[in-house]
Amino acid sequence: MSVLEMKVPSPGESITEVEIATWLVKDGDYVEKDQPIAEVDSDKATLELPAEQSGVITLKAEEGDVVQVGQVVCLIDMDAAKPEGAAPAAEAPKQEEAPKATEPAKQEAPKPAAPVAAPQTYATGAPSPAAKKILDEKGMDAAQVSGTGRDGRITKTDAELAAVPALGGSPMTATGARTTTTTKLSVLRRKIAQRLVSVKNETAMLTTFNEVDMSEIFRLRKQYKEEFAQKHGVGLGFMSFFTKAVTRALQMYPDVNASIDGDFKVNYDFCDISIAVSGPKGLMVPVLRNAENMSFASVEANIKDLAVKVRDGKITVDEMTGGTFTITNGGTFGSMMSTPIINPPQSAILGMHNIIQRPVAVDGQVVIRPMMYVAMSYDHRIIDGKESVGFLVAVKEGIDNPVEILLGGDERKGLGL
């Protein structure tokens, strides 16, 4: 009998353990070679675990278990014959209902004689006439008030001191579902939480704001979108303009493209831009390597490819490792303004927001323009205020005037058309 022990492969450098997020097969199933059998969470990504051989699988770990890299998580019996076809599950025989025991004829219990109505009294918890009037004015029921009079009688003072219940009904009652659900955070989500807290505690983070006019980018996209898509096979989006504006600004302000390592500052002569992408497992930040050398079409194609990998759970740790600066776009979810948080060990991040038609002053005239607020959070330990403001102004220049600043004065040539 040939049995393969499947061990957890290393998802990437420095990762020593993963969590079994989901088994995609059941114990005893027949699996094919390279068939995804599980999803595993590391502190950087969610990855699929493919079967190394074909055979019948025996699971050795449960969902939610944290396992070490190299640990055996399942066995595959490679000698097991592949079933010709999945036979329909046999229906479980219906259990015959046991004959009901003959029930003795129910004899109606004699009805108790109706109690003789007692004469009404105010010593049984009912309000006095004066108290009743006050409760009626407050819109309260006597049952909501505790009487302090003899035998629980509600006195005028009780009624005057009674608090009116909050809107929505009696505080003693509740309507609607009141269930709660508790789920364990994934390794990835726990790691993100840990890193975000450490950023707030270990960096001197500040944020500077500005606004950009998207008019020219709107015009370029409208004029060239079909030609651009036909030639390059991808759409002309906003992110390529912002990526090119950021790489230009990073070269103008190199300390924004740097990080702190202990008592040292590390400057990078390349621009690896992390692009925040929302996926089923949370926010991922795949990296565009040497984005400063990419064309508009190359930026769009790479972002599309990485976004598809994030959505399908195919992104690798290597594709998210590194990065010297991050761009995040909260505007896709409707955010007007936010303070993005730095992605360590980077020193700065640019936040994009939604585009709103707003009145602005242009050459002494009020006109309506598509405007976007942008925010840059930065580590003040390494980036001074002058540099942060200058960097964001440089990004604004590229977005406000993309033809001259980003496309070299020739929009068709600059877009690769």
CATH assignment at residue 27: 2.40.50.100
Residue 257 lies in a domain: yes
| CA gap 227, 190 in Å, rounded | 45
Domain match, 64 and 213 both = no
Helices (H) and strands (E) in the chain, counts: 9, 19
271 and 401 share a domain? yes
In angstroms, rounded to a whole number, what is the distance separating the alpha carbons of residues 368 and 218?
14
Per the structure, the count of domains in the chain is 2
Residues 53 and 201 in one domain: no
**Is 235 a member of any domain?**
yes
pLDDT tens by residue, the chain, 417 residues? 688 888 888 776 667 778 888 888 988 889 988 888 888 877 666 777 888 888 898 998 888 788 888 889 898 888 888 877 654 433 444 444 444 444 444 444 445 444 444 444 445 667 777 777 787 877 777 777 777 776 677 877 777 777 665 545 454 555 677 788 887 777 667 777 777 788 878 888 999 999 999 999 999 999 998 999 999 999 998 999 999 999 999 999 999 999 988 889 999 999 999 998 877 767 788 999 999 999 999 999 999 999 888 888 778 878 888 899 999 998 888 889 999 999 888 999 999 999 999 999 999 999 999 999 999 999 999 999 999 999 999 999 999 999 999 998 888 898 988
| 157 is a domain residue | no
Q: Is residue 215 part of a domain?
A: yes
- The answer as to whether 164 is a domain residue is no
The Cα 388–Cα 255 span in angstroms is 9
Determine, yes or no, domain membership for 21.
yes
Report d(CA 237, CA 218) in Å as an integer. 10
Q: How far apart are the first and last CA of the chain?
A: 62
Q: Do the domain assignments include residue 250? A: yes
Which residues are annotated as catalytic? 380, 384
* 41 neighbors 21 (Cβ within 8 angstroms): yes
Last residue within a domain, chosen from 77, 99, 114: 77
Range of the domain at 28: 3-77
- Say whether 330 sits in a helix, a strand or coil: helix
Domain assignment present for 104 = no
Q: Which of 51, 77, 103 is the last residue of a domain?
A: 77
Look-up of token digits 């109606």: 108
